[in-house]
Structure 1
Amino acid sequence: MKTIVITHYGQAKEVFETIETPMPVLSSGEILVKVMATSVNPIDYKIRGGYLPHLIPAFPAVLHGDVAGVVAQVGPDEQRFKVGDRVYGCIGGFLDRSGALGEFAKGDSTLFARMPKNLDFAQAAALPLVGITAYQTVFEKGNIQPGQRVLIYGAAGGVGHIAVQLARIAGAEVFATVSSQEKADIVRALGAHHTIDYTRTSIEDMIAQYTNGEGFDMVIDMVGNDNLLNSFTLTKVRGTIVTILAWTTLDISLLHQKALSFHVVHMITPFLFNDTTGQQQLGSTLDHITALVEAGQVKPHIDRIYPFAQIAAAHEYAESGGITGKVVIAQEGGL
């Protein structure tokens, strides 16, 4: 089968190549999926660029965790899926788990869920990693309660735009930071009650204008770096911070002084520590997301769709900054 691989780190236009690889052999509990679409997540281009060498699969490496497609074969003892089922999931693209950039991809069936009936393959491929991350952020770590003031940093991004919708479902008053009117329009359409242009509004003004000087009940940080430190100031006493990007060194004294609750979400943790139970929960979380999508409460926002032949261009655009929602790669006449 044809597979897109990298054999070394580097710029997108320099490293991707298409080669012939053997068809995957299934073990017990695995399924083989005819790949119809995948999407670009930051982890994909960071691995490709050599910034996360501890996560790189063996060369030649097949990247991309997100996948949507049709079950082509099931392994021994498989009970959840049958040939012909339309499924989606986040299967790997890191460590020893091959990704989705091939005509076919295999993965443990517990990592998959049935696709929402009201989405096409491109839309479904936009959801797994960001949907699971947002779900863990809002419902599991954040445990948002009705009426809470929740500020979401990076609200128009991949995880952020799903978190906006889930926080609205949870009953929060949703405040979304944006950097343009286009992004404000998008996140308002997705359910944000308020949009805040962080390029024009100071931290102090956010607190004064939107929380009567108290601070937000919760800040969800999708950006990291200085934004994570700002979250300590923006959150009220005994409030909660949930971040998906804690790769930084910070002075946490304010966290201590305000007795804040601090949580980190890292969707791939179950893979890093061979946590079988955690991996099984990923598919279960997608089942919940499927139900929300089919009920019309959650929908992915796609910025651009590329064919597989333009994988390099898709990566370049995704890492250029400023995109809204997700960049998707979908089949167009095969690989």
Structure 2
Amino acid sequence: MKAMLIQEYGANAKFEVAEIAKPEVKDGHVLVKIEASSVNTVDTMIRTMGAELPLSPATPALLGMDFAGTVEEVGEGVDDFAVGDEVYGCAGGLADLPGTLAEYIVADCDLVALKPKNLLMREAAALPLVAITAYEGLQRAGIAEGQKVLVHGGSGGVGHVAIQLAKYWGAEVYSTGGGEKQLELIRELGASAIHYKSESVEEYVEKHTGGAGFDVVFDSVGGGNLLNSFDAAALNGQVATTVSMCELDLTTAHFKGLSLHVVFMLIPMLHDHKRAEHGRILKDLARIIEEGGVRVVLDENYYSLEQVDAAHARLASGKGMGKVVVDL
């Protein structure tokens, strides 16, 4: 089968076209003909950082985590899928799990679900990593009807799903953005937009919560921005983040009695830990999407498998809006 491989990691790493063996189905897995994949920040990190990240595959590396496609073969012990099923999932591209920048993948059936019927393959392929992340973060933060929720980075991959899920679960949602295009998308998704470059945390907390703070802060920016999340959170509030590889002063979190939830959705793949939970989340997300609760925002550009270098560059540029997808 055709695949795009990385022979050597680094800032100038390039994908190369290769012919590799088509994988064989095994017990508890499904063989999927991939029709689309998508690019996530972690993919670009692996490509450039290599061995600096403990989750990077050995080279030559077959990257790519998200996919949507059609089941071609079912392994022993698989009861929930049949040949011809259209599925989506996040099941490879790290450690010893071959990725999705290829024509086929053998995926653990616990990491897969039936694709939402109302989505195109390329739309479904954009979702698994970011949607599972948003779902897990909000659920762990105890999302509930009537809460005031702040989403940092609401025009990004994770953020645009977090806005919609928070609204679906009955919250009053606010979100930060740094430019008019981002703010416009945030408004389209149903959240009150906050221009973080022109409004201070203190100003927007006062404006939107009367100074009390937000019940839940979902921070898809993370790092140093977590200090803004602590400042924006209510007393005994909940903060969920996707980026916490940093050193921070937790004084504000202490005196507010905040709970911090770190979401690292790759754990089930890396450690074979509670993988079925990802399948369950994807199944529930499909139901929510089919009800109209979440729509997918895709970047305007189209990329073929051979153009994956350009797809990575698009995501890294920060100029894209929504998820960058690679069509097979």
Category of TM-score, reference length = shorter chain:
over 0.9
* Residue-by-residue CA offset, 1:253-281 (whole Å, 9 max, x unaligned): 11111111111111011233331xx2111
1:19 and 1:153 mapped to 2: Cα distance?
39
Partner of 1:63: 63
Q: Does 1:36 align with 2:32?
A: no
Report how far residue 77 of structure 1 moved. Answer: 2.5
Partner of 2:317: 320
1:23 and 1:217 mapped to 2: Cα distance?
49
Give the total of aligned pairs.
326
2:230 and 2:122 mapped to 1: Cα distance?
37
4+ aligned runs moved over 3 Å, structure 1: none
* Alignment counterpart, residue 235 of structure 1, candidates 227, 233, 236: 233
Partner of 1:10: 10
2:178 and 2:3 mapped to 1: Cα distance?
38
Q: TM-score, normalised by structure 1?
A: 0.94
1:167 and 1:28 mapped to 2: Cα distance?
37
Partner of 1:104: 104
- Paired AA for residue 223 in structure 1: V
* Alignment counterpart, residue 287 of structure 2, candidates 291, 299, 302: 291
Structure 1 residue runs of 5 or longer lacking an equivalent are: none
Partner of 1:282: 278
RMSD between superposed Cα atoms in Å: 1.2
Matches within 5 A, 1:42-191: 42-50=41-49, 52-138=52-138, 140-191=139-190
* Alignment counterpart, residue 268 of structure 2, candidates 267, 270, 277: 270
1:77 and 1:309 mapped to 2: Cα distance?
35
Matched residue SS, 2:81 = coil
* Residue-by-residue CA offset, 1:214-254 (whole Å, 9 max, x unaligned): 11111110001221111111111111111111111101111
**Greater shift after overlay, 180-189 or 160-169?**
180-189
Partner of 2:304: 307
1:112 and 1:40 mapped to 2: Cα distance?
18
- Paired AA for residue 328 in structure 1: V
- Paired AA for residue 66 in structure 1: D
**Greater shift after overlay, 178-187 or 26-35?**
178-187
Report how far residue 11 of structure 1 moved. Answer: 3.9
% identical aligned pairs: 42
1:45 and 1:108 mapped to 2: Cα distance?
24
Report how far residue 323 of structure 1 moved. Answer: 2.7
- Paired AA for residue 203 in structure 1: V
- Paired AA for residue 30 in structure 1: H
Report how far residue 322 of structure 1 moved. Answer: 4.1
1:299 and 1:113 mapped to 2: Cα distance?
18
* Alignment counterpart, residue 257 of structure 1, candidates 246, 255, 260: 255
Matched residue SS, 1:263 = strand
Partner of 1:201: 199
Matched residue SS, 1:110 = helix
